[in-house]
Structure 1
Amino acid sequence: MAEIKTLAGNMTFTECPRWHEGRWWFSDFYTHAIYSMKSDGSDLKKEVDVPAQPSGLGWLPDGRLIFVSMKDRKVMAREADGSLSVHADVSSYVTGHPNDMVVGPDGVAYLGNFGFDLMGGAPPATANLLRIAPDGSVKIAAEGLHFPNGSVITPDGRMLIVDESFGNRTSAFDITSDGLGPRRDWAVFGPIPKQAQDRNYVPDGCGLDAEGALWIADAGGGRVCRVREGGEILETIEPGTGVFACMLGGEDGRDLIMCCAPDFYEHKRSASKEAELRVVRVKVPRAGWP
């Protein structure tokens, strides 16, 4: 197995890593900020303070950063002068914290949400997946998903793939001119669970490679797996702790970065700095978005 290296530590709970213009970008939930760093972990700097907790992020065609502000249920934009504006208010469309988001080359963003009060211990409920146009207008793109989470868009821009963390599955949608086609299975890891212990894979953050496989973080299993469409697991990497997101990047696209932490519980992660970003070299480079 290739060597796993630590790029950054002393974080609370990192999520949504992105490779952009020669740097890694990521959110850290409980330091309430978005950071970037060079491919080797050096030159770590805070990019944006997000008091209401950051999550998914991406870039519009004009170069502006947009990002999720979870607890006030908005997608924010960083303007050219560094000021912040509301790109989209999604509060009337979500039933839990908005979370991971993918932004395509046309500036259209797809945003998932928890669907229920995860940290408060509410029973799981299904959620909507939102489509946010480049002008910030919002519409429901899909309904009835089981915690829509990490998402990618294929290189041809024609398919969206979405992890359903509480559904034992990863789903796919054809991208149309103004929305999404019907949901279909991309990978199924088991039946839709009736209770938490029935989840045998908890697909969280993910990244697409040039052979069409997905690296998917298993939030319940402390591993990242390279998965082929249909659900076959091709490779598994276990970093020795919990892992909640992953993404391919680096100068040649073959660095697999992993967002690691002991667990995802807010009261524990916000009280300590045990999260790390770790990286391992893989054979097949990245593809698609993000």
Structure 2
Amino acid sequence: MMKLHTSTEFAAGHQFLEGLRWHDGTLWASDFFSKKVLTFAADGTATTVTEVAGAPSGLGFLADGSTLVVSQADATIQRIAADGKVSTFADFSSIASGPGNDMLVTADGHIYVGNFGFHLGAEDPKPTALAHIDPEGNLSRVDGDVFFPNGMAITPDGLLLVAETFRHRITAFDIGQDGSLLNQRVWAQLAESFNPDGIALDNDGGVWFGNALTMGDDSGFYRVVQGGEITDKVPVSGAQAIACAFGGDDLGTLYMSCNSTTLEEFIQGRSNAVIAAAEVGRVGVPGASGT
């Protein structure tokens, strides 16, 4: 029996929020259409950290106190220094066959970053590849293909999990000693009505994912365990369920970005976003979504 949870509104008045991260006691997000990287106070008030002309997406953090953010349009990673100065950190456009998308940055400085694989509304969907940037800045293409890779998380036993939105599944990779990704396989195959976007890992081995591309009854954040069993749902009404992150003092709150937009409106850059919050009886895994 799937367990249902209720949510409350945490923040509103935004456009298309993605890349939710809990870092150093603060919730972060990227707003695609306002082109802002945002942080949120405990009362939901947003502060603009910087603006990214190419539209920000995935977020990560380095040990030197700087923030990394994917710039979608040019498939680069921008570095926001502690003093606010922005510079290009890496360019993965040679691997990306579409706009840059989500990203995971590990505690030891390995970076995994995805891309759409094609241009929405202008090309037919096709698979692409993840890019890996090691701590020395070396760029490599991850072996194998992924179809609209989205959220990523690292399990306590060292697997990289990736949501493949257009394959309706969560995919696993082993992580080699050099940070390379190996042995791609299905971790959880989902029904075709599920299009997993952002993900968050709980300490009981479950993956919470936003079911994107629908504003119907299937919209919501779901919990899936290895093998594909769905155990929990946080319903979302009138919006797409996009990204999620565990946060709060004990990582006991699931924050969820809910974006009201159709594919046509998205291509036109029109959307209304809120962040919802829910207590789902689970806590997050520290560092699972990167640092």
Instruction: Provide the TM-score with structure 1 as the length reference.
Output: 0.91
Give the corresponding residue for 1:289. Answer: 288
After superposition, the C-alpha distances for 1:5-61 in whole angstroms (9 at most, x for unaligned) are 11111111000100011110000001001000123313x200111111000001012
1:22 to 21, 25, 28: 25
Moved >3 Å (runs of 4+): 264-273
8 Å Cα contact 2:120/2:267 also seen in 1? no
2:120 to 118, 121, 130: 118
8 Å Cα contact 2:144/2:184 also seen in 1? no
Give the corresponding residue for 2:221. Answer: 224
Give the corresponding residue for 2:134. Answer: 133
Matches within 5 A, 1:8-87: 8-42=11-45, 44-87=46-89
8 Å Cα contact 1:30/1:270 also seen in 2? no
2:201 to 189, 208, 226: 208
Instruction: Provide the TM-score with structure 2 as the length reference.
Output: 0.91
2:259 to 261, 272, 282: 261
TM-superposed deviation, 1:271: 5.6
**How has the CA–CA distance of structure 1 residues 123 and 270 changed in structure 2, closer, same or farther, with 3 Å as cutoff?**
closer
Secondary structure of residue in 2 paired with 1:145: coil
Secondary structure of residue in 2 paired with 1:166: helix
Secondary structure of residue in 2 paired with 1:144: coil
Secondary structure of residue in 2 paired with 1:181: strand
Give the corresponding residue for 1:195. Answer: none
After superposition, the C-alpha distances for 1:220-248 in whole angstroms (9 at most, x for unaligned) are 33111011111000101112121111111
After superposition, the C-alpha distances for 1:114-169 in whole angstroms (9 at most, x for unaligned) are 1111232x21111101111123321112332111111001234x210000000021
8 Å Cα contact 1:103/1:289 also seen in 2? no
TM-superposed deviation, 1:281: 1.0
8 Å Cα contact 1:100/1:150 also seen in 2? yes
Moved more, 58-67 or 23-32: 58-67
8 Å Cα contact 2:74/2:100 also seen in 1? no
After superposition, the C-alpha distances for 1:77-120 in whole angstroms (9 at most, x for unaligned) are 11233211111111111101110111111111111111111232
TM-superposed deviation, 1:250: 1.1
RMSD, aligned CA: 1.7
After superposition, the C-alpha distances for 1:56-79 in whole angstroms (9 at most, x for unaligned) are 001012221001000011001112
Q: Residues of 1 paired with 2:9 and 2:267: CA distance?
A: 19
Identical columns (%): 36
Amino acid at match of 1:85: S
The count of aligned residue pairs is 279
